[in-house]
Amino acid sequence: MIFIVFVKYSITRFNISNCPYVTSWQSYWTDQRKIRYNRAALAIGLIFSVALTGVVSFQYSNAPWAHMVFASIYFIGGMVYICLQTILDLNVHANPGRVMTIRVIICALCILFFLPYFILQFFTSAINQDMSALFEILCAVTQFIYFVSYYYEFDQFKMKIDFHYSQPERQNLL
């Protein structure tokens, strides 16, 4: 998840700096705001990605408070991330309208699934806990589907990693 968030940050940063619509001083300030939002999305994305590890590590039946803290960070951070990223993508105009429509719908569904999940957490009956778990799963699935929608950008992304070692020149001791 951390890798996906970082690659999306890089793609959005490239799209902001190479936008063909930048023509005036006012556009410069708008682009600076987009860059700040992109950095904020990166920070939030990294935090909620780490929180996902906590949700998976602490099952609700074994450590309910730890699971709930990490789940809250994950779901709230994930919602903020996908909303912020959707707004950024809408303003950068780098994706086709169909992709953006799907992302807006997924973002709305994620919010709609999160609200009952969060509210039902405060009720202790078994049916409420089961319904809360159902909405938790639906919210997670919508977030994962949102990340699948990155396929369009990632398909055009080429990344090369080059590791090499430069051996220092040896001095002839003779």
Instruction: Parse the chain into domains and list their residue ranges.
Output: 2-16+28-155
Mean pLDDT score across all residues of the chain: 84
Q: State mean pLDDT over 107-136.
A: 88
This model's pTM is above 0.75: yes
How much is the pLDDT for 106? 94
Q: What is the identity of the amino acid at 59?
A: Q
Residue in the structure block whose two tokens are 């996908």: 82
Q: For the stretch 104-142, what's the b/e string if a residue is b when 16 or more beta carbons lie within 10 angstroms of its beta carbon? A: eebbebbeebbebbbebbeeeeeeeeebbeebbebbbeb
How much is the pLDDT for 172? 62
- Tell me how far apart the alpha carbons of residues 84 and 104 are, in angstroms, rounded to a whole number: 11
Q: φ, ψ for residue 150 (rounded to 5)?
A: -75, -5
How much is the pLDDT for 18? 76
Structure confidence by residue, pLDDT tens digits, 132-158: 889 988 998 999 999 998 888 888 777
- Tell me how far apart the alpha carbons of residues 159 and 49 are, in angstroms, rounded to a whole number: 21
Residue 59's SS3 state is coil
What Å distances lie between residue 93 and 15, 86, 96, 115, CA to CA?
A: 9, 11, 8, 30
Distance of CA 64 to the CA centre of its chain: 25
How much is the pLDDT for 82? 92
| pLDDT class of 98 with cuts at 50, 70, 90 | confident
List CB contacts of 128: < 8 A, sequence separation 6 or more: 120
